[in-house]
Chains A and B, each alone.
Chain A
Amino acid sequence: MSISAATKAATDALAANRAPVSVNAQEVHRWLQSFTWDFEKNRTKYPTKYKMANETKEQFKLIAKEYARMESVKDERQFGSLQDVLTRVDAGNRVHPKWNETMKVVSNFLEVGEYNAIAATGMLWDSASAPEQKNGYLAQVLDEIRHTNQCGYVNYYFTKHGQDPAGHNDARRTRTIGPLWKGMKRVFSDGFISGDAVECSINLQLVGEACFTNPLIVAVTEWAAANGDEITPTVFLSIETDELRHMANGYQTVVSIANDEAASKYLNTDLNNAFWTQQKYFTPVLGMAFEYGSHFKVEPWVKTWNRWVYEDWGGIWIGRLGKYGVESPRSLRDAKKDAYWAHHDLFLIAYALWPTGFFRLTLPTAQEAEWFEANYPGWYDHYGKIYDEWRARGCEDPASGFLPLQWFMENNHQIYIDRVSQVPFCPTLSKGASTLRVHEWNGKKHSFSDEWGERQWLTEPERYECQNIWEQYEGRELSEVIAELHGVRSDGKTLIAQPHTNKDGKLWTLDDLKRIDCVFKDPLKAL
């Protein structure tokens, strides 16, 4: 049978010029640019006040084939380690009990951030017009799906192979009881996916990822290892191998708007709002998790913060952008004060509200109190004495009938919730940058802890209508709320949360709480 003229021509051409059997990945990546359209108007569902440039680059020159190969190697290494050597050496039971509790919060809350980042980067993919920028965002969508699974897997692994699984195994339904949850939703959800698309990128990538993932996902692995946990470094350092591309996406988003007139008007305000939003939660919560949730200390949290946030993110990312008009965040002074004191302020409140958690907390020991005083001069006189008093009143023992929350009430130390960040604060005890401000709007009182959140609220108060813990449970008795929200272990009566990790200590039950008759009361109503 004769072949057609066209087939013959093609065969002859190939005989003279052999088709390449492979193409360099970066040559393939170069072809992406031919997908550029010069949109007269970007038809995105997620608009931005900035105009993103069309020629923005993607720094790592990813193509799908190399991306998939890289990620499969990462997963093989991570799951190989977890399911082989770490299980064989009983890694879950080598973790210090205090740190085991810390990972209930850290991994579960990070899972929420990763989940919301899927939506955030999908939105940015739609908003951008440069094909390389879209390519970078698209890979990030896939990364965030991977990370969501990884974080869930850490809690699953601790549940299956570790100690005290309550909290690791059912955090998705019990995490909403206490006040830490809503603050986390503000930074990890609302901050990433609500409002202007570029503003979301600044929150997620330029601040959340380029700044706070370093302490949250990198430095945490050193604290984990020091406390016998090799599970977290195995997973979190693997997560972070994707984050560098996300930081680059955030930086390239700024590059893409650098020459837009809107940047000179809005970028510094958006950066300051994002920095304050993210630091307001991460600074105290991470500091509390590291210092109060560990037995073996790596270094004072304020030093970790100073290195990763102030010197490196501030100097290397923001400082270098100074010649393009990017200013030092105006809220930095208050953020630095928070980095020194706010985690101590928060632990005082977190311990007072311990029954609302899905983890066990521990009061600082005498040895830890010495460490705190050496690193934060003045710590003992302000905080340490209070812990001594609580311990003397038997706060760890259910027979004492004493909840530290009662101490706050007896001493007229009101705990308010900042409307914007949802972070609790006690103005009469705070050494961080929190002071009480109150506004009345829409027939309701709203408390604020700082001028930076207050400014954001004044701009768009309807954005921050989320009920806080006091409004939600007003007039209800504590044990009733905890029972309703499943904050109990498998016997149906012992609390998941406990005020100690002592294996010989007695465990609190719903009945122990009921006897105290603690009723939620909104302090704003008394003002």
Chain B
Amino acid sequence: MSLNSNAYGAGIMAKTGKAFADEYFSEENQIVHESNEVVLVLKKSDEINIIVDEILLGDRKADNPTLVVEDRAGYWWLKATGKIEVDCEEASEILGRKFSVYDFLVDVSSTIGRAFTLGEKFTITSELMGLDRQLEDLKS
């Protein structure tokens, strides 16, 4: 069975012992390589578990086929190509109460990529916000 290339144990991580060392120390891996992926760490909580199950892996799964979600004990580890978005208005509907983007931030533990909020939407993108594209302000 082949792993999604964004999986926690994909690529070199699937190798062990000498095979891992050979690739790890190979000449082409002595410099960083540009990556178009983003990583999001969500602390497990009542609300986050529902957002992961019912939105990211539920209603919105087809929107982002590259998304991988893995259970790492106290947190969910998410990786996707390009971007991950969470619309907190959708989360509010599912949770049955007001759930703002700031409520969501309570349990966002780490981001690798450029994360930002606009209105009730949280986005983490591989784009260089502020350089490739300007960060927007909320329009009245």
* A315 & B37 in contact (Cβ 8 Å cutoff): yes
Query: What does the 1/0 interface line of B38-81 toward A look like (CB < 8 Å)?
Result: 11010101000000000000000000000000001111000000
Whether A247 contacts B32 in the complex (CB less than 8 A), given A61-B138, A237-B75, comes out as: no
Nearest chain-A residue to B13 (Cβ)?
A303
* A251 & B114 in contact (Cβ 8 Å cutoff): yes
Q: Is the interface of A mostly helix, strand, loop or mixed?
A: helix
Interface residues of B in 8-30 (CB under 8 A from A): 8, 12-13, 16-18, 20-21, 24-25, 29-30
| Chain A residues positioned under 8 Å from B109 (CB to CB) | 218, 237, 240-241, 243-244
| Chain B residues positioned under 8 Å from A9 (CB to CB) | none
A313 within 8 A of B: yes
| Chain A residues positioned under 8 Å from B21 (CB to CB) | 340, 376-377
* B74 & A225 in contact (Cβ 8 Å cutoff): yes
B105 within 8 A of A: yes
Whether A313 contacts B112 in the complex (CB less than 8 A), given A25-B102, A221-B75, comes out as: yes
* A319 & B34 in contact (Cβ 8 Å cutoff): yes
* A306 & B13 in contact (Cβ 8 Å cutoff): yes
* A324 & B131 in contact (Cβ 8 Å cutoff): yes
* B43 & A237 in contact (Cβ 8 Å cutoff): yes
| Chain A residues positioned under 8 Å from B12 (CB to CB) | 306
**CA distance in complex: A332, B128 (Å):** 23
* B75 & A30 in contact (Cβ 8 Å cutoff): no
User: Shortest CB–CB separation between residue B30 and chain A, in angstroms?
Assistant: 5
Nearest chain-B residue to A30 (Cβ)?
B137
* B73 & A315 in contact (Cβ 8 Å cutoff): no
**CA distance in complex: A455, B128 (Å):** 32
User: Shortest CB–CB separation between residue A334 and chain B, in angstroms?
Assistant: 10
B96 within 8 A of A: no
Whether A303 contacts B74 in the complex (CB less than 8 A), given A70-B102, A241-B105, A315-B35, comes out as: no
User: Shortest CB–CB separation between residue B3 and chain A, in angstroms?
Assistant: 14
| Residue from B17, B113, B130, B134 in contact with A316 in the complex, judged by beta carbons closer than 8 Å | B113
| Chain A residues positioned under 8 Å from B107 (CB to CB) | 241
* B105 & A70 in contact (Cβ 8 Å cutoff): yes
| Residue from B24, B31, B105, B113 in contact with A340 in the complex, judged by beta carbons closer than 8 Å | B24
* B110 & A320 in contact (Cβ 8 Å cutoff): no
* A255 & B131 in contact (Cβ 8 Å cutoff): yes
| Chain A residues positioned under 8 Å from B16 (CB to CB) | 374-375
B94 within 8 A of A: no
Binds B, one of A52-60, A178-186, A191-199: A52-60
| Chain B residues positioned under 8 Å from A24 (CB to CB) | 138
Interface residues of B in 79-121 (CB under 8 A from A): 100, 102-103, 105-119
| Residue from B73, B113, B116, B131 in contact with A221 in the complex, judged by beta carbons closer than 8 Å | B73
**CA distance in complex: A406, B15 (Å):** 39
Give A contacts to B, CB under 8 Å: 24-27, 29-30, 33, 56-57, 59-61, 66, 69-70, 73-74, 77, 210, 213-214, 217-218, 221-222, 225-226, 230, 233-234, 237-238, 240-241, 243-244, 247-248, 251-252, 255, 258, 300, 302-303, 306-307, 310-322, 324, 328-329, 332-333, 336-337, 340, 374-377
24 contacts between A and B (CB under 8 A): A26-B137, A27-B138, A30-B138, A57-B129, A59-B116, A60-B105, A60-B115, A66-B102, A77-B45, A210-B112, A241-B107, A244-B109, A255-B131, A302-B20, A306-B13, A307-B8, A313-B112, A316-B112, A324-B128, A332-B31, A332-B32, A374-B16, A374-B17, A375-B17
Supply 17 further A-B pairs (C-beta < 8 A) apart from A59-B116, A59-B129, A218-B110.
A25-B102, A26-B138, A59-B135, A66-B100, A214-B110, A214-B112, A218-B75, A221-B73, A221-B75, A237-B43, A252-B130, A307-B8, A315-B35, A320-B35, A332-B31, A332-B32, A340-B25
